[in-house]
Every structure is written in C-alpha cells, then in structure tokens.
Amino acid sequence: MTAGETAPVASGAVSAAEAMAFAANGGLLLDVREDHEWDAGHAPEARHIPMSQLGDRIGELSADESMLVICHSGARSQQVTTALNDAGYSALNVVGGMVAWQLAGGAVTESGSQPSQA
C-alpha cells in the first residue's frame, strides 16, 4: 500500500475518509459512544445516541435515512449497525471509529457541546 491509499473496507462498512465526506454532505453520522466519551471529543456533525440508550431512543432515527455509525474503535458501532440493519434501517459501520476519524484528519469538537437534534 502506498501513501494516500486506504485499507480495503469490509462490506457494510466505510472508511473514516468516506465517513468524513458523507457527514460533510449532510449525511447522518450516529455516534453511539457514552456521554463521557462524547464530551471528550466528537465529530461536529454527529448525532449522539449512546448505545446504552438506543433501544429507548430509536424513534429519533428515520428508517428512510441512511446513516453511518461510529464509536471509539468500531466494535460497538458494528454491533449497533447490525442491530439497526436487522430492524429495517440502512446503516454502515465506520471502521476504526473515532480513532480512525482523527488519524484521517477529521474535525473533533470537545467539551460538553450539545448533541445535534433530529
């Protein structure tokens, strides 16, 4: 692999660079990390619904809207992606999560910034 190339991404997933382009164009980036992780830094465009609250807050998402799901490293977001797709939503996992997002140069907002609302 040469500089500038990205690693291949599994089916049902996108790279951090692809996620940044998707979010920049108004696509839904769903951050499923817990509140303390969100407060430590998140993508400015992201909507925050912690994985632990998703069952209670699923109505905040539209089954008609495609979304990318992100967490710290990609493991929790993969679980959420699978659950959302099984429930009739259209979701893709961001491989590498916020770690990959930051390594790819993605913007991060810190502190207790309020999550964007649906």
CATH number of the domain within which 82 lies = 3.40.250.10
Q: Which residues lie below 8 Å from residue 52, measured CB to CB, with a gap of 6+? A: 34
Q: Is residue 111 part of a domain?
A: no
Residue 15 lies in a domain: no
pLDDT in tens, 48-83: 999 999 999 999 999 999 999 999 999 999 999 999
Is residue 82 within 8 A of residue 10, CB to CB? The reply is: no
Q: Could you tell me if residue 99 is inside a domain?
A: yes
pLDDT digits (tens, 9 = 90+) for 19-44: 999 999 999 999 999 999 999 999 99
* pTM across the whole model: 0.85
State which residues form the domain around 86. Answer: 28-103
Is residue 115 in some structural domain? Answer: no
The number of distinct structural domains making up the chain is 1
Report residue 104 as tokens.
């790819």
Answer yes or no: is 118 within a domain. Answer: no
CA distances for 27 relative to 5, 48, 111, angstroms: 23, 14, 23
Is residue 117 domain-resident?
no
The answer as to whether 45 is a domain residue is yes
Do 70 and 53 contact (CB within 8 A), yes or no? no
Q: Provide the annotated active-site residues.
A: 71
- Angle at alpha carbon of residue 74, lines to 3 and 117, rounded to 5°: 110
Residue 22 lies in a domain: no
Q: Answer yes or no: are the C-beta atoms of 69 and 84 closer than 8 Å.
A: yes
